[in-house]
Structure 1
Amino acid sequence: MKWSVLAAMALFISYPALAQPLTAVLPEPLLAADVPAGKIVPDVLRCLRDRNTTLVSAHRGGWGPGYPENAIETLAHTLSRGPLIIEIDIRRTADGVLVVLHDDTLERTTTGTGAVSELMMEEISNLQLVDAEGTVTDFRVPLLSEVLEWARGRALLQLDVKSSVPVEEVVAAVAEHDAIGYSAVVSYTLEDALRAAAANPRVALSIEITDRERLEALIAAGVAPGRIMAWSGVHPAPVPDIWAMLREADIPVAFGALWYIDTAVSDTGDASIYSEIADGGVAVIATDLHWTAYDTLATRQDTLAAYRACLSP
């Protein structure tokens, strides 16, 4: 029996609210992310950077009409067109279950109400996800464990750990589901980054680094630069000084085009800024306009060829 069938059965058993096994109906990636043994996400990003190739990060899974934020169906739909890195958000229910959901409350993205942290998983599993246009879909709030299982051999993940969630629990879930090779745990404070680093010496870390003091503090604390991908923040314009500092440390850099730059691109129709950011040596561009950025970058790079080469054993 093929792995995809086994995974489908496992998801169906663990999530009884679903009408049918997820992977029985999901598309496969155009180019699957099967990370070579012993490698982690920053290794792949360094390889891509050295091939002058920038990955797009699909914010909240690459949502769009009919595809709500953070749904497994949305992740699969996104990757069916091309290779991106997938960013998702982690919350924790009242009974300690890690789920994939952005907001601390349910109203905006589901048919439910109330705080995620005050509801049991059984209650949340009965809700339906709502897309950005307010359309109710048949999709459900996924467990982090389900996404980690689905993503094996398919996707590179950035796990954005929300402030109310103990980062150690997310690190433990990554290790438990043998997802170390394809998952990076996101943290924004030095304290959380050091806690994540201490929780498991192998798990990749996506850490906000916008100054030399933060970088030096991480290295002084014993965090190996090889396990870090740096988040250089969300800015209205490129920040080449930060990127150069991180390149000097051989740390792959992600930059947020969210809000400011994405809005300007939407208003003007000029997407050339994404190529300008990539030309600055950035390994990942996080954006809500993921296909606009992806298609723009196609004029400067062969993403498929580089991705395939960097995932070769």
Structure 2
Amino acid sequence: MKNSIKHFAGILALSAIVFITAISFKQENKLFTFKLHNANDVKEFFRYTPDAVPFISAHRGGARKGYPENCIATFENTLSHVHSLLEMDPHYTKDSAIVVMHDPTLDRTSNGTGKIADHTLQEIKSYRLKDVDGNLTSYQIPTLDEVLEWAKGKTMLVMDMKELSIEARVKKIQEHKAYASTIIMAYTIADAQKCYKLDKNIVMEVMLNSVEKIKEFDNSGVPWQNVFVFVSQKPVTDPTVFNEIHKRGAMCMEGVAFSYDAAYTKGEIKSVDELNKDYKSVIAAGADIIEANLAIEVGAAIHDLQQAKLASSSKAKFF
């Protein structure tokens, strides 16, 4: 009888451990997602309001130790810590497939060599990605199709140009019905006009770094509700451009990948407290979105600002 009781107790204990482990695993793998269902949701999400919640765009997906650039596992790791857009880069293969990788060559971020355009998709799928320290991982180079399908219901991808035309990128969004999960990067006003003419439902990230450029965009025929604006890769000390964009109902983004992120990685910014202060200064200057390599670190720095806004923001329904 005692042995039976001990055996039963052992089963209960083991079950409890398994149950607790399952709960922990589920919590650790919960993703911070955006609740966006269609193009109108995306337009409303990016419409500037004074109660807008600051958030992040992870440059190349937020690569770090163990997690390569432009990799689905990296995207999931970023979203397991923060609400974030995910910027990514498409390239054509030799057989006209499209893969997601920043460089036009394979060498820096994979164990392949040479140009992506000189390799077939089958060849590229045989290679594995390297993390930020150059360590080989088990992760494959994803196709654009795989990434577009993965993102649905989770986040919004920001599709850079590389050698893909506006027409090709619009076609991919249409093909996957990815209006609620993919944004196109438009480097010029002409590109923004072309995208809007092709499909009025697609939201774009446009590059406007001066009042003159903003006024030029006023006359472009593209509604401000179809865009948010990348302002600068350098710290902005004059809030005029931010203010002018906000007046037009659009959000602003500033990049820190080549400023505060780089300085911290090189040891020029000595402490996390100093780094957090720098990140918060970007929001204080007027930016609504921070594009960063160190997306998780930015998320930690602005967490209190997000929580304060989420308590009463009209945007809270999207987080």
C-alpha distance after superposition, 1:133-188 (max 9, x if no partner): 111111111111111111111112211111x2212111111121111112110021
Q: Give the Cα separation in 2 of the matches to 1:207 and 1:196.
A: 11
Contact 2:186 2:205 in 1 (8 A): yes
Match of 1:179 in 2: 178
Contact 2:39 2:202 in 1 (8 A): no
* Cα drift, residue 280 of structure 1: 2.6
For 1:246-285, what aligned pairs fall within 5 Å after superposition?
A: 246-266=245-265, 267-268=268-269, 269=271, 270-271=274-275, 272-285=277-290
SS class of match (2:304): coil
Q: Which amino acid aligns with 2:170?
A: V
Q: Give the Cα separation in 1 of the matches to 2:164 and 2:178.
A: 19
For 1:111-130, what aligned pairs fall within 5 Å after superposition?
A: 111-130=111-130
2:165 maps to 1:158: no
Q: Give the Cα separation in 2 of the matches to 1:304 and 1:99.
A: 36
2:295 maps to 1:290: yes
* Cα drift, residue 265 of structure 1: 4.2
Match of 1:32 in 2: 33
Match of 1:15 in 2: none
Contact 2:205 2:229 in 1 (8 A): yes
SS class of match (2:230): strand
2:133 maps to 1:133: yes
For 1:69-84, what aligned pairs fall within 5 Å after superposition?
A: 69-84=69-84
- Which ranges of structure 2 fall in alignment gaps of 5 or more residues? 1-27
* Cα drift, residue 220 of structure 1: 2.2
- Which ranges of structure 1 fall in alignment gaps of 5 or more residues? 1-26
SS class of match (1:39): helix
SS class of match (1:310): helix
Q: Which amino acid aligns with 1:35?
A: L
Match of 1:41 in 2: 42
2:317 maps to 1:310: yes
Contact 1:83 1:307 in 2 (8 A): no
Report which stretch shifted further, 207-216 or 98-107: 207-216
C-alpha distance after superposition, 1:209-241 (max 9, x if no partner): 112333333332311110101111201444422
**Highest CA radius of gyration, 1 or 2?**
2
* Cα drift, residue 194 of structure 1: 2.4
Q: Give the Cα separation in 2 of the matches to 1:192 and 1:64.
A: 32
Q: Give the Cα separation in 2 of the matches to 1:208 and 1:125.
A: 33
TM-score after normalising by structure 2: 0.82
Q: Number of residue pairs matched? A: 285
Superposed CA RMSD: 2.3
* Cα drift, residue 298 of structure 1: 1.7
Contact 2:38 2:179 in 1 (8 A): no
Contact 2:253 2:287 in 1 (8 A): yes
Q: Give the Cα separation in 2 of the matches to 1:71 and 1:307.
A: 32
Identity of matched residues, %: 27
Match of 2:99 in 1: 99
Contact 1:33 1:155 in 2 (8 A): yes
Q: Which amino acid aligns with 2:33?
A: A
Q: Which amino acid aligns with 1:257?
A: V
Q: Give the Cα separation in 1 of the matches to 2:304 and 2:33.
A: 22
Q: Which amino acid aligns with 1:243?
A: F
Match of 2:234 in 1: 235
